Each structure stands twice: as C-alpha cells, then as structure tokens.
Amino acid sequence: MQKRRLGNNGLEVSALGLGCMGMTWAYGAPGDHAEMVALIRHAIDLGITFFDTAEVYGPRTNEELVGEALAPVRDKVVIATKFGMALDPNGGARPIGLNSQPAHIKAVADASLKRLRTDHIDLFYQHRVDPNVPIEEVAGAVGDLVKAGKVKYFGLSEAGAATIRRAHAVHPLAAVQSEYSLWTREPEQDILPVLEELGIGFVPYSPLGRGFLTGAFAAGTELADDDWRKTNPRFQSDAMQKNAPLVESLKSIADTKGATPAQIALAWLLAQKPWIVPIPGTTKRARLAENIKAADVVLTPADIEAIESAVASHVIAGERYDVRGMAMVNL
C-alpha cells in the first residue's frame, strides 16, 4: 500500500489506517479477543501500518488489545491513541465528561504506554477540546511528553479552526481527526483549508458513515441494545429510510467501476487531498480486504463529478451525534 505523510515533521503512514474502536466498544458485543488480535496482524500483512485506538474505547481494553497485537512488530507500525475524557471511576462504559488538565494528560500517557506495551505513543490526540482548559496548556503538556520521549506527534480530534491555529502555534500538530465522509462534509468548510495552510494532516474517522455507506443497513434494520448507533439520530428508522437513496446512488456508481459502495466512499476520500488518511474500522476479515482494495480504485474527474452530483441530490437526515455529542465538536 502507498504511504502518506501527516504533517511536516516526518510522520509517514499507510494511505488507509485501521480504526480499532469497534473491536471492543460501541457497536454491540466486543469481538472475540483472539480473532481481533489476528485481524490486526492480518491488516499488517495487507499493508496497513497505522492503527487508531483510545483510552476510552473499552474502557481501557482496546489499548490492551492493540498493544498485544502490535507488540511483535512495534517498530514497523504507527499507533495513535487519545486523551481528554474523564472516565467513570465505577467502570461505566461511557465517559462522564472531559478532562484535559495537564497533570491528567501526563497520567493518561503513562497508563496508555503500559496498556500498549510500548515506550512511546506515535500520535497522541486530544479526544475532544476541553473548554475548561486553554488549548495552549494542552499543547504545552503534550510538548513536555514529546521532550520526554513518551510521545512523538501531537494531534487534535473534532477541534475547530481557531483552536487548531492556537494549538499549532504552541506545538506543531501532525494531524487533526474528525468525522468526514460522503454524508458528513462539514470539515470542507473551515477545517481542510486551515490544515492545508498550516501543513497538518487529516484523519477522517467513520469514513463509511459508521457502516451505513456500505449498504449494510435498511430502514427496518434492528440494532442491538448495546450498539451505540441505536440512539444515533441518523440510525433511526425514518432517517435511514430517507438516507437510503444516497447508498443506492453509490451502488450505481460502484457498479460502473467494478467496486463496492464502501470502496467508492473510501476512494473518494483518498482523492480529496494527498494528506488525508481515512481509518475505517471493522471486525471482519472480508470487510478489511474490501476496504484495503479501495486504495487501488482510481477515480477519474468524471467519476468524482458523478459522486458529487449524487451526494448533492440527497439531503442527509439526522445529526451525526445526539445533542450531548454535538456540544463537544468543533470547539
């Protein structure tokens, strides 16, 4: 697989990464541990070198899974993890708030290093901007971790343009991670222009619309009670029914390319900028192989125009998060 650079300071990763969250958290029952370890190692065999996790995905167990899977090849891969969430001290599955106090950031880094079985974190993102802690203090704390050799690169997740500028002025950002896909286009308005100006990479998460853009969902699809999407506005039955025509349009375009809707959605992202690295997640080998083949799909200007036209003809129903989630993005 081809490589791409994130930022201007030498961070090089595979053109597609692997989001590991769903292996232990959010989308129903966790995958079998041994199978998930094998899946991550299979991804390496297929050319992926970039793996995304977080302290909160479990909580805690996702980092342990990733650390175990990647320990034998640690020097050949890039591990991204995140700080900034306040975890439930009673072990609840959802974060209870935000905490980017410098002392907490450094404590999280030390704990993540142990769980990941490594002496350094390649890319350390602030998971969500904490309005109670100036971003300059956050950047300074991560800068201290870089100086100590515990972290190599600094990133932000779901940060607004002004916050990105302020953080980057204190310590260079290698990447910003935000939701971006054919049904979530907001980063194009303010974020992508700032990243291009400052030389910062972009890592779209949920590049397949949390699975919806693969065509795996229909209006009557029943989600498990422990599947986070069950309460997501876009996965309510009426919203899925309204959004289904977008997927049908992608299927039509995919058929002309001998591809799948998922591959078209990922290829479209890769075609936007050479410094964009999507991180689709999966728990299935077949989906992993399908996603990776998207890197080989060549979209012509006519293909891009057809995709853009298809998207423009559909109004996306539902916010991408509930009210609580939307309050923590673009700060």
**pLDDT at site 220:** 75
Residues of the chain under the 70 pLDDT cut: 59, 91-93
CA atoms within a 13 Å half-sphere pointing along the CA-CB vector of 289: 4
Please state the three-class secondary structure of 150-207 as a single string. CEEEEEEECCCHHHHHHHHHHCCEEEEEEECECCECCHHHHHHHHHHHHCCEEEEECC
Per-residue pLDDT of 18-44, as tens digits, reads: 999 999 999 988 999 999 999 999 999
- Spot the catalytic one: 57, 153, 180, 205: 57
Enter the pTM of the model.
Answer: 0.96
Strand stretches in the chain, DSSP E: 3-6, 11-14, 18-19, 50-52, 78-83, 85-86, 97-98, 121-126, 151-157, 173-179, 201-205
Please state the three-class secondary structure of 241-271 as a single string. HHHHHHHHHHHHHHHHHCCCHHHHHHHHHHH
**pLDDT at site 93:** 61
57 is catalytic: yes
CATH architecture of 3-326: Alpha-Beta Barrel (3.20)
Contact yes or no for 293/152 (Cβ under 8 A): no
**pLDDT at site 94:** 74
